[in-house]
Structure 1
């Protein structure tokens, strides 16, 4: 069963839609230092990070995500030369998603903050509970319960199967952040 969820940044300048299809996503709570540095770069920690310094991500296939308004208001940074592309709004400094550097990889980690839900219960009904809590060693204050210090090795087979299914089904296309192989925004390499 699929649900179509509206996407909107804080100011409404960037909008889109994502299909939530059972078996085609991971609901993740990430406490990694790179997500925290990205929030600092955007100068918007209060609207991005939770009390533990974490971010909630909806990891799915690029083919399920569509930007409908504000592509001209999208920017992108890398925190290291081989790092993820971190897409964000230039209008209100909100993270949009993380992708690999190649549009051939069928993966996009969408910020749940952009997803429009009428209540926490609707969010839970649509996304289900967080299934992976990772990088707890970077938590601010106490590490949240059930959080792995790093990424759990037990999750790697699921991710590899997810990627393989996506490659076989060509779920990297259309890609919301690339025109063919060209990124829709200039990639800025930053260091914090």
Structure 2
């Protein structure tokens, strides 16, 4: 059964809701250098990353996410010319989500830091365990024992099936980051010049 999770940025200006539908998400821990660079660009690495430089992400369909307040504070960064769109709040420089550069792709990777839970047990019951800890070769310090050096190829069939199902069922829309296929904010290349 689907659950609704409240979303809120650090300063409370941006709020939203996320529908958590069993079987329609991946709970991942990403240690890649781009996620680390993004956190550093935002100037919030100490609040975003764990001790190994990892980001906790909830990958699901855009149709399940809704920004209900503070849409004018949605900003976008692209670290590389062909890289992901990395959405964040301009009010407190908090990561919102990662998407592809097209609104027609049924994928959004939402920062778990946005999610509001009554307690840790509710969080665990709603999100379940992290299923993939990837790109451990970029970890700060020693690579966690449960991390994969890169992205595990064994996960690819599940991701492809997820994307095909999402496209077939049109779960790429509505999309909080694209209106009629147009991004709600222009991508900048970084905040630190």
Q: Same fold (TM over 0.5)?
A: yes
Q: CA deviation at 1:146?
A: 1.3
Number of equivalences: 192
Q: CA deviation at 1:99?
A: 0.1
Q: Following the alignment from structure 1 to structure 2, what is the Cα–Cα distance between the partners of residues 28 and 115?
A: 15
- Partner secondary structure for residue 158 of structure 2: helix
- Partner secondary structure for residue 10 of structure 2: coil
Q: Following the alignment from structure 1 to structure 2, what is the Cα–Cα distance between the partners of residues 108 and 140?
A: 25
- Partner secondary structure for residue 109 of structure 1: strand
- Partner secondary structure for residue 72 of structure 1: helix
Q: Following the alignment from structure 2 to structure 1, what is the Cα–Cα distance between the partners of residues 8 and 70?
A: 10
- Partner secondary structure for residue 19 of structure 1: strand
Q: CA offsets per residue over residues 51-74 of structure 1, 9 Å max, x none? A: 110000000000000000001011
Q: Following the alignment from structure 2 to structure 1, what is the Cα–Cα distance between the partners of residues 86 and 18?
A: 18
Partner of 1:71: 71
Partner of 1:90: 90
> Where do 1:7-156 residues align within 5 Å?
7-156=7-156
Q: CA offsets per residue over residues 69-101 of structure 1, 9 Å max, x none? A: 001011101001100000000111100000000
- Partner secondary structure for residue 77 of structure 2: strand
Q: CA deviation at 1:46?
A: 1.1
TM-score of the superposed pair, with normalisation by structure 2: 0.97
Q: CA deviation at 1:152?
A: 0.2
Q: Following the alignment from structure 1 to structure 2, what is the Cα–Cα distance between the partners of residues 189 and 46?
A: 21
Q: Following the alignment from structure 2 to structure 1, what is the Cα–Cα distance between the partners of residues 175 and 89?
A: 17
Q: CA deviation at 1:20?
A: 0.4
- Partner secondary structure for residue 118 of structure 2: coil
Q: Following the alignment from structure 1 to structure 2, what is the Cα–Cα distance between the partners of residues 119 and 56?
A: 17
Partner of 2:187: 187
- Partner secondary structure for residue 124 of structure 2: helix
Q: Following the alignment from structure 2 to structure 1, what is the Cα–Cα distance between the partners of residues 31 and 122?
A: 24
Q: Following the alignment from structure 1 to structure 2, what is the Cα–Cα distance between the partners of residues 83 and 71?
A: 23
Q: Following the alignment from structure 1 to structure 2, what is the Cα–Cα distance between the partners of residues 19 and 30?
A: 22
Q: CA offsets per residue over residues 88-131 of structure 1, 9 Å max, x none? A: 00111100000000000000000000000122211110000000
Partner of 1:160: 160
TM-score of the superposed pair, with normalisation by structure 1: 0.98
Structure 2's unaligned 5+ residue stretches are: none
